[in-house]
Structure 1
Amino acid sequence: MVRYQSLSALFRASRRLTSPATCFSVRQFSSSLLLPKTTPPRYFPFSSSISRFYSSSSSPSPSVRPPKSAGSNGDEEDTFEYKTTDDVEVIEDWEEEEDEEVESYLGDGGDGGGIVLRDVPWGEKVLSIAAEVLKQSEEELELFAFKTSPRGYIYVRLDKLSNEYGCPTMDKLEEFSREFKKRLDDAGAEKVIPEDLALEVSSPGAERLLRVPEDLPRFKEMPMTVSYVEETNSRKVVKTAVFLLESIDAESDNCVWKLADVKENRDPESKGRPLSRKQKDLRITLPFTDHKKINLYLD
């Protein structure tokens, strides 16, 4: 059976709980290092409660298997307690992604999407297992990002095409995680992959980087934070503004942007009044190659 960094599944809202583009994640571990809190329920727009599974064992050693009990059919069953809490602490020994402090880029296996296997010998196999699980799912889910670590960690980010923000529900992430874990267990028992792996399943959220021009039509109705290159006095400088996509000209490889009516674009002295007519009529045409970075805008 595949052993995880803990046999707990922590479902938590990501960094931006108050945003409509909330990103959920499911983590699988191999020892119970998380203690539930008894804080009163908190509510966030467009987020759901945080639930988790945790083992009754508190052994911190990842090499110790969880306690088992015999089921009615004679098979071994995990002895888990299933509880729900609205506030949990993330265990400290989980391997955060090594490039977390480095600026994201397209294809990095994280916020930039793409597949990064880091030359681990079992990477292609676990990727194919994930693809099989997605293929059999009835949901409109796709792999946004997939990354493996030499230390035995698997990071998966699932994109739901029919969702405005691309975020699957917590239940769907849990469902994928359960099936993926089961198949990893089977492959580990057959010695096809290592038995000591850790898994994190999440949604991209608003931090995702958007590809130009492929991803732009999908989010055309949403404000985007756009960093772009502009030539000023024979010098190229990088500027950032919040835009709405006006159009894409595939023949000339240009995007046409207009200012979004958000506080970042308003005159600080206007006391919250909307954009002026001049600002609303402003259009900026940028070649595809002059776009440095685009994210969904979080108010």
Structure 2
Amino acid sequence: MARAQALRSLLARCSTKCPAAAAAASSSCLRRAVPSYSQRILPAFRAASVPAVLTRSLATTARGGAGPDEPGAEEDEEEAEAQEWEEDEDYGTEPEIGDGGNGGGVLLRDIKWGELALASAKEVLAEHFGDDVAMFAFKVSPKGYVYVRLDKLTNRYGCPGIEEIENFNRIYKQKLDEMIERGEIPLDLAVEISSPGAERLLKVPEDLDRFKDMAMKVQYFAEGDDLVSDQADGIFLLESVDIQAEHCVWKLANVTENRAGKGRPLSRKQRDWRLQTSFQSVRKVTLYLD
């Protein structure tokens, strides 16, 4: 009952992260001691101005001490509550394609158990989820943190439902616990399951067609000029992509930033204006939320 109340409270705080799905938070840990399993909800990782689902649960915590109905159980639980989740060491850095975070891809940092944890996550997706759920990003930390971002390919923003996030977390932590018992990965391990939000970097041209009906913030370099001095950005809609010629054509999105004044539509000149960029000249593309 207490966990359900905590979950509902957390959902209320996180509901703005994704228009289609709210988020629960979860992290998994298994520690060396006599098994005494419990589960708790950690605070939301950080507020996001993007539609993202973040799930973190203290999955299986094996530690000595009193059982849930024994004297001292409350003190043990309070001690667990005091444990803080590690701030992502890459938080605040400029995202790059393939960085295991907003740039997607896999980042193992030459950590020995990283390949095993990655293979296990892929197995969970292949065996228990359909083709519409994919792994957007996977990253491990030397301190024993695993960051997994799931992408719902059929969702407008890529947000999986909270049930899908929790199911993945439950099955994945079971697999990790089995690997821990076999001594294949460290005992102290925590897992964060989340979804990518609008801060995700879109690959050019691979991701453009999927989000072609959504406004995008595009940073680009002017063709043939100095790359540094002529960097520009804008809020656009994709009009066309030419894979063979390796260029795309953009038009201004009908958003506040592009309008002449409040409540005024785009002018005819703005509606007719087009920007053509080569794939190489596009520096960064993210989703835009008005």
TM-score above 0.5, yes or no: yes
What residue number does 1:103 align with? 94
How far has the Cα of 1:195 moved from its partner? Answer: 1.6
Matches within 5 A, 1:43-192: 64=63, 93-139=84-130, 140-192=132-184
**After the TM superposition, which segments of 4 or more aligned residues of structure 1 sit over 6 Å from their partners?**
8-11, 13-16, 31-36, 50-55
C-alpha distance in structure 1 between counterparts of 2:282 and 2:177, whole Å: 43
Q: Does 1:241 align with 2:234?
A: yes
C-alpha distance in structure 2 between counterparts of 1:250 and 1:22, whole Å: 34
C-alpha distance in structure 1 between counterparts of 2:257 and 2:234, whole Å: 8
Aligned residues: percent identity? Answer: 46
C-alpha distance in structure 2 between counterparts of 1:148 and 1:252, whole Å: 38
How far has the Cα of 1:235 moved from its partner? Answer: 3.7
Q: TM-score, normalised by structure 1?
A: 0.75
**Residue 211 of structure 2 is aligned with which of 204, 213, 219?**
219
Q: Does 1:17 align with 2:16?
A: yes
C-alpha distance in structure 1 between counterparts of 2:90 and 2:52, whole Å: 27
**Residue 228 of structure 1 is aligned with which of 182, 202, 220?**
220
C-alpha distance in structure 2 between counterparts of 1:53 and 1:18, whole Å: 18
C-alpha distance in structure 2 between counterparts of 1:91 and 1:177, whole Å: 22
Q: Normalized per residue, which structure has more strand?
A: 1
The 1:25/1:97 distance shift into structure 2, 3 A limit, reads farther
C-alpha distance in structure 2 between counterparts of 1:35 and 1:151, whole Å: 18
The 1:238/1:295 distance shift into structure 2, 3 A limit, reads same
C-alpha distance in structure 2 between counterparts of 1:25 and 1:47, whole Å: 11
Q: Does 1:253 align with 2:238?
A: no
Q: Does 1:284 align with 2:283?
A: no
Residues 12 and 51, structure 1, Cα contact 8 Å, conserved in 2: no
How far has the Cα of 1:33 moved from its partner? Answer: 8.4
What residue number does 2:76 align with? none
Give the total of aligned pairs. Answer: 256
The 1:18/1:291 distance shift into structure 2, 3 A limit, reads same
What SS is found at the alignment partner of 2:178? helix
Q: Normalized per residue, which structure has more helix?
A: 2
How far has the Cα of 1:138 moved from its partner? Answer: 3.3
Q: TM-score, normalised by structure 2?
A: 0.77
What residue number does 1:298 align with? 289
Residues 228 and 238, structure 1, Cα contact 8 Å, conserved in 2: yes
The 1:13/1:194 distance shift into structure 2, 3 A limit, reads farther
What SS is found at the alignment partner of 1:27? coil
Q: Which stretches in structure 1 are left out of the alignment for 5+ residues?
A: 1-7, 37-45, 56-61, 71-78, 80-89
Alpha-carbon RMSD: 3.6
What letter corresponds to residue 214 of structure 2 in structure 1? M
Residues 146 and 192, structure 2, Cα contact 8 Å, conserved in 1: yes
Matches within 5 A, 1:263-278: 263-267=256-260, 270-278=261-269
How far has the Cα of 1:65 moved from its partner? Answer: 5.0
> Could you list the per-position Cα deviations for residues 198-235 of structure 1 after superposition, in whole angstroms to 9, with x for gaps in the alignment?
00000001111000000000000000000111259x54
Residues 26 and 174, structure 1, Cα contact 8 Å, conserved in 2: no
